[in-house]
Amino acid sequence: MRSITASFHALLLAALMRLRSQRSATPSAEAEITVATSDRERLLAAIAASPVEVAAIRFNEYRALACADHDQAEAAMQAMFDRLAHGIGNGGTIARVESDILGVSIEGGAAAIEALRYLLCQPLALGDATIRPTVAIGVASGSSSAETGLARAIAACGPAPLVELSSESDFALEQELSAAISSGALALHYQPIFDIATGRVTGAEALMRWHSPSHGQVSPALFVPILERSRLIHDAGLWALSTACRDAAAWAEAGLDLTVAVNVSARQIQDRRLSQAVLRSLARNGLAANRLELELTETAAMADMASTRALFSDLRAQGVRLSIDDFGAGYSNLNYLRSLPFDKLKIDRQFVVDVDTRGDSQAICRGIAALAQGLGLDLLAEGVEREEEADMLRNLGCRLFQGYYFGRPMPSDQFIAFVEDGERHRMLSSPVHRQLATIGERLAS
């Protein structure tokens, strides 16, 4: 009973072949797979022979893995089986009772279950990739029959996670991303923020970059939502925060007066420990709180008002500044502007594109500028690509700018050079900085 039997393999393979051939017509990989009964019966006999607890352990990633690569899914399931066998030693019986569920008779109560969970959730190497398995464990004891006990344990696992067909590549990316976080393959680039009133760079927004071994450079617009759908955003978000604090501390060390803005997603805000993590990151990297800004979209801020308010009260009291990102693109109820004390609005790029020629965008930007002024908030236009857009926005009351026209996102050392070069050339000349200085002077006049 300690290995998945050949008959089971044959059955599963046949079922998977059926499943794969149905996939174009089926919206998810939810189809049931017939499982060999012999192992199950041996497990039932073991449960009946001694009245122990029975646990059902669902390997949550199995179905998504099977969608992407059946052999890999089977290898992963076998590895989970082996881990479980190792975990229970000689004292229990294991059977694969559903395609993604292992049933086990077990002694030792909750502590034993938690020890098994810990063991099963350790990173698992699969070929070149490493996955972080998650499990759902249902337990039943004192049932009238072994069959009932097993059925109750399986039911207690809850429903299997849905696997969307479109998530096939997402899943593979998620596993790659997980490895990228642990191996330090993510990077942060910094996009300059320019203040036309002073003609200087005031800081930068930190933007995540990922060079995937198999996909090359992947856009954060693609991989950040994948991080958000998995629990990886917590690790990646903390990494970004800490890296941005470290780099901004180096800027201060180099004598530059700059702030750093870090994006925070809705999932992160729901983590009550976020404000502590931010403060720890500042302290560990020796960065003053007023040099850090967090960017939240309206939707993220609104998703859980209680969490957002708690985050705000802790962080603002310490001097961290907060911006609304993509302003105008999400939430239409502006009431939150009264209850959540933001410091800055970032006008969404959709209102910036061609604002010099589009009357509707001008009306919206004018309205946003009046709103910012009335509420005492800073106003930044992002995604500015052309001088005419910058001109128009400045006329509409905008002072802070970010966009390819002023500077692209770049690694920290290049950003330092960019700012130092700008300072050095403010009165001299260099193609890019002469251009920046001219824009600054002209727009400020």
Positions in the binding site for Ca ion (CB under 5 A): 263, 295, 325-326
CB of 191 to ligand C2E, least distance (A): 6
Pairing mode, if any, of strands 200-212 and 321-327? unpaired
- Assess contact for 148 and 101: CB atoms under 8 A: no
Pairing mode, if any, of strands 135-140 and 186-195? unpaired
From 44, 207, 340, 396, residue interacting with ligand C2E (rule: CB under 6 A)? 207
- Based on the shown chain and the rule CB under 6 A, indicate whether residue 265 belongs to the binding site for ligand C2E: yes
**CA gap 265, 244 in Å, rounded:** 16
Q: Which is nearer to ligand C2E, 104 or 241 (CB)?
A: 241
Residue in the block written with tokens 């800027």:
251
Instruction: Select from ligand C2E, Ca ion, none the partner in contact with residue 99, using the beta carbon and a kind-dependent cut-off of 5 to 8 Å.
Output: none
Instruction: Select from ligand C2E, Ca ion, none the partner in contact with residue 167, using the beta carbon and a kind-dependent cut-off of 5 to 8 Å.
Output: none
- Residues 307-336 within binding reach of ligand C2E (CB under 6 A): 325-326
The b-or-e profile of 158-184 (16+ CB within 10 A means b, else e) is: eebbebeeebbebbbbbbbbbbbbeee
- Based on the shown chain and the rule CB under 6 A, indicate whether residue 301 belongs to the binding site for ligand C2E: no
- Based on the shown chain and the rule CB under 6 A, indicate whether residue 221 belongs to the binding site for ligand C2E: yes
Q: Which is nearer to ligand C2E, 93 or 402 (CB)?
A: 402
CB of 173 to ligand C2E, least distance (A): 14
Q: Which is nearer to Ca ion, 53 or 325 (CB)?
A: 325
CB of 217 to ligand C2E, least distance (A): 10
Q: Which is nearer to ligand C2E, 203 or 403 (CB)?
A: 403
**CA gap 2, 302 in Å, rounded:** 50
CB of 195 to Ca ion, least distance (A): 17
**CA gap 416, 125 in Å, rounded:** 39
CB of 295 to ligand C2E, least distance (A): 6
Question: Alpha helix (H) ranges present in 336-408?
Answer: 336-339, 359-375, 387-395
**Binding track, positions 368-387, relative to ligand C2E; x by CB under 6 A:** --------------xxxx--
Q: Which is nearer to Ca ion, 60 or 268 (CB)?
A: 268
Q: DSSP readout, 135-177?
A: EEEEEE-S-SSHHHHHHHHHHHT-SPPP-BTTHHHHHHHHHHH
- Based on the shown chain and the rule CB under 6 A, indicate whether residue 169 belongs to the binding site for ligand C2E: no
Q: Which is nearer to ligand C2E, 22 or 357 (CB)?
A: 357
Return the sign of the alpha-carbon dihedral for residues 239, 242, 246, 249.
Answer: positive
- Based on the shown chain and the rule CB under 6 A, indicate whether residue 44 belongs to the binding site for ligand C2E: no
Is 64 in a helix, a strand, or coil? helix
Q: Which is nearer to ligand C2E, 117 or 386 (CB)?
A: 386
**CA gap 436, 426 in Å, rounded:** 9
Instruction: Select from ligand C2E, Ca ion, none the partner in contact with residue 207, using the beta carbon and a kind-dependent cut-off of 5 to 8 Å.
Output: ligand C2E
Residue in the block written with tokens 């958000």:
228
Q: Which is nearer to ligand C2E, 248 or 264 (CB)?
A: 264
CB of 290 to ligand C2E, least distance (A): 20
CB of 265 to ligand C2E, least distance (A): 4
Is 79 in a helix, a strand, or coil? helix
CB of 254 to ligand C2E, least distance (A): 23
Q: What single DSSP character describes residue 193?
A: E
**CA gap 136, 158 in Å, rounded:** 8
Q: Which is nearer to ligand C2E, 23 or 386 (CB)?
A: 386
Q: CA angle 120-123-127, nearest 5°?
A: 115
User: 10 Å Cβ neighbour count for 293?
Assistant: 21
- Residues 386-445 within binding reach of ligand C2E (CB under 6 A): 403-404, 409
User: 10 Å Cβ neighbour count for 410?
Assistant: 17
Token representation of residue 60: 């949550």
Instruction: Select from ligand C2E, Ca ion, none the partner in contact with residue 292, using the beta carbon and a kind-dependent cut-off of 5 to 8 Å.
Output: none
Binding site for ligand C2E (CB under 6 A): 191, 206-208, 219-221, 224, 240, 263-265, 325-326, 382-385, 403-404, 409
